[in-house]
Amino acid sequence: MQLNLAIHSITSIAFGARTGLIGTTLSINQDELRRLVLENSSFEAVDFEIARPGDSLRAGPIFDIVEPRAKAPGGSPDWPGILGAPHTAGSGTTHVLEGAAVTAVRDDSPGESRGATGYVLEMSGAPAAVSHYATLNHLIIVPLSKAGVPAHVRHRAYRLAQLKIAVHLARAALNKMPARTLVLDTAIGAERTGLPRVAYVGQIFSRQRKPEQDEAILYGADTDGMLPTVLHPNEWLDGALVPSYHVSLGGAETYFYQNHPVITALYRRHQAGELNFAGSVATIASADNFLGADAAVLTKFGGGVPHTDLAETARLLEIMGVKTAVQVTDLARDHRVESALLFNFAEVNAIVCVGGNGTHWQLPQVERVIAADSGMAELLAGPFEIDSLNVIGVANQQGASRLRSMVY
């Protein structure tokens, strides 16, 4: 299955009379977007803001971040199972607005697990220096939900609005010449002999929790009762997956899946002739070796139970002769290496630690705050102290972390 990413570089976005791509500037008509959002009866109103790299600006609580992408005719559809009927994702041509993001803030509580602020987008200062999201030009959706709308209905409305807007913006590039095209196909060079076959095994939800009612995670379905599922790597990158409403510790945004660093790194090494990318498995628990792989990279979603699931999966794969490398995060309160591991299997000895929550910053007051209610805006205006896990784009358990743990 071949996926062609037609990549258009975006260096700025601005509101204008029409939505279109003018060189590397994305012009956005707010009225068009407002009509798209208000098709959903869950919303009373919606506003839009623009955040640029270097702005003295803070936004939150962040619901999700999406890279604007749209499918050209003849391939798989946009966001199958969510914006349309389920259909295998990952084929054809996808136009990508690289350097842009569609970001939604919540107008409800971020939930206890993420503290009073939830995830915060920082566009300047020390936290911004270690978050990729601070390098992007953001169109920020600021919704106002109708009173009495249940949480699961409101969350689904956020998701639908965000994905529809992301597709609408990227369609402005369908008839434009891309800056470059990236071809992704594991079949190219797969006949090479003598190279290790490497698979990716990634958790997409934590068994510690139940999905919300009507929650779309994999092809529009939740993960309740899910068994390990073999996916083509292109499916991860091209619309099969979105993150849970209850986000992972360490983050897993839609933008992350669209640019999955483990999958894209394996693709680069496959194309360079260093290995054969055998495929991938999406799971929420222990997984077996379905792909005839010689080695596997494993990542987790969530806290302690997913951590031990990850280790046990790796141990079983090692016993089967599949060499593993696991990524873990130090969330231990005492910050001791022994506490962070949660497992001690002699077989599982290739461990990459992608940081913890020991980093924090004292945030200054900023010139602009984007939030959906005045109380949150007042809190986010600063100054206040924030942990690294609460700055979106800094900590990530699945390969995009800007942190690392150091023993000293």
Q: So what's the pLDDT on residue 232?
A: 96
Higher-pLDDT residue of 386, 139 = 139
* Local structure of 163: helix, strand or coil: helix
293, pLDDT greater than 80: yes
Query: Mind spelling out the 3-state secondary structure of 335-371?
Result: CCHHHHHCCCCCCCCCEEEEEECCCEEEECCCCEEEC
Confidence of residue 9 (pLDDT cuts 50, 70, 90): very high
- Give the range among 92-101, 287-296, 350-359 with minimum mean pLDDT: 287-296
The DSSP element (H or E) to which 36 belongs, if any, is helix 30-38
The DSSP annotation for 94-143 comes to EEEEETEEEEEE-SS---GGGTTT-SBEE-SHHHHHT-GGGGSEEEEEEE
Q: Report CA 363 to chain centroid distance, whole Å.
A: 25
Domain ranges (residues) in the chain: 3-390
**pTM value surpassing 0.75:** yes
How many beta carbons lie within 10 A of that of residue 299, not counting itself? 28
User: What's the rounded Cα separation, in Å, for the pair 246 and 223?
Assistant: 13
Q: So what's the pLDDT on residue 353?
A: 76
Confidence of residue 251 (pLDDT cuts 50, 70, 90): low
399, pLDDT greater than 80: no
* Local structure of 70: helix, strand or coil: strand
CB 250 within 8 A of CB 389: yes
How many beta carbons lie within 10 A of that of residue 325, not counting itself? 17
